[in-house]
């Protein structure tokens, strides 16, 4: 009695959870990595159009330094993207992509600087069916990696669009001047191009188990991801 409703509500919440602390700013990748052992995989799903097509290299610097694999995915209007799955020091990272783009297009660096200037950008609505398809394929590829396989998004980006949902594969080369070091390491050989490629197996990974659903993926024309495992946890941006 005699207290404003908003103030009384805040006091009630504080008394119910006295140990709770308000965060002064959003949690960052660097902050999460500093608090616990690095995760096996981080999934990054930016919402704005430029970040989907041109991921920010600064965001993943802690992941590159810690050697944490990370997988990109996103939807922009009627276009869906899955990949690349970055293996730090072995395959192309966001910095490699940006350097190649800047070399091809003189004004690309200025465009990115303007876009990343700190302004808030509106998140455009996307098609629900397309978003669900991209999310499912992303989860399948992530679980495939956690199960000891190398899915076809390693060093590659898969792109699809409505209404046909035909998948197109793009190889992403490393850059010799990128500080990630992938451009000077042993050359990564991607799997042969195919409509529905299977999951390659490399030395050092666990022997592959029987692939699940590969025939169905081939008939559907979608990129295969191989065997999946239950109980894996992905961290989304």
What is 107-140 written as a DSSP string?
A: THHHHHHHHTSS---PPPP--HHHHHHHHHHHHH
Domains, the chain: 26-236 (3.40.50)
Q: What is the pLDDT of residues 167-198, one digit of tens each?
A: 999 999 999 999 999 988 765 555 555 444 44
Q: Look up tokens 């003189």; give the residue.
A: 106
End-to-end CA distance of the chain: give it in Å, rounded.
Answer: 43
For residue 215, count other CB atoms closer than 10 A to its CB. 11
Give CA separation, 68 vs 39, 212, 222, 226, in Å.
Answer: 7, 26, 26, 21
Beta strand 168-171 with 235-236 is: unpaired
Q: Which segments of the chain have a pLDDT < 70?
A: 1-35, 115-116, 118-121, 186-237
Look at residues 90, 110, 116 and name the one whose alpha carbon lies nearest to residue 184: 90
For residue 181, count other CB atoms closer than 10 A to its CB. 14
Instruction: Note the pLDDT of residue 231.
Output: 35
Instruction: Note the pLDDT of residue 74.
Output: 96
Q: What is the pLDDT of residues 151-161, one digit of tens each?
A: 999 999 999 99
Give the whole-angstrom CA distance, residue 172 versus residue 107: 21
């Amino acid at each position: 009695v005699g207290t404003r409703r908003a103030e009384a509500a805040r006091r009630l919440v504080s008394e119910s959870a006295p140990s709770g602390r308000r965060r002064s700013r959003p949690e960052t990748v660097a902050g999460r990595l500093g608090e616990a052992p690095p995760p096996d995989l981080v999934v990054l799903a930016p919402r704005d159009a430029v970040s989907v097509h041109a991921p920010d290299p600064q965001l993943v610097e802690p992941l590159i330094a810690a050697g944490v694999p990370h997988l990109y995915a996103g939807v922009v209007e009627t276009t869906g993207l899955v990949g690349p799955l970055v293996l730090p020091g072995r395959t192309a990272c966001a910095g490699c992509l940006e350097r190649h783009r800047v070399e091809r297009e003189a004004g690309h660096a200025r465009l990115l600087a303007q876009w990343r200037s700190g302004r808030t950008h509106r998140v455009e609505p996307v098609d629900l069916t397309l978003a669900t398809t991209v999310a499912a394929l992303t989860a399948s590829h992530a679980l495939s990696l956690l199960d000891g396989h190398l899915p076809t998004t390693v060093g590659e980006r898969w792109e699809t669009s409505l209404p046909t949902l035909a998948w197109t594969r793009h190889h992403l080369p490393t850059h010799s001047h990128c500080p990630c070091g992938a451009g000077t390491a042993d050359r990564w050989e991607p799997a042969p191009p195919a409509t529905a490629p299977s999951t390659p197996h490399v030395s050092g990974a666990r022997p592959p188990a029987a692939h699940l659903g590969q025939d169905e993926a081939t008939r559907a024309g979608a990129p295969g991801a191989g065997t999946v495992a239950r109980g894996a946890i992905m961290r989304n941006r």
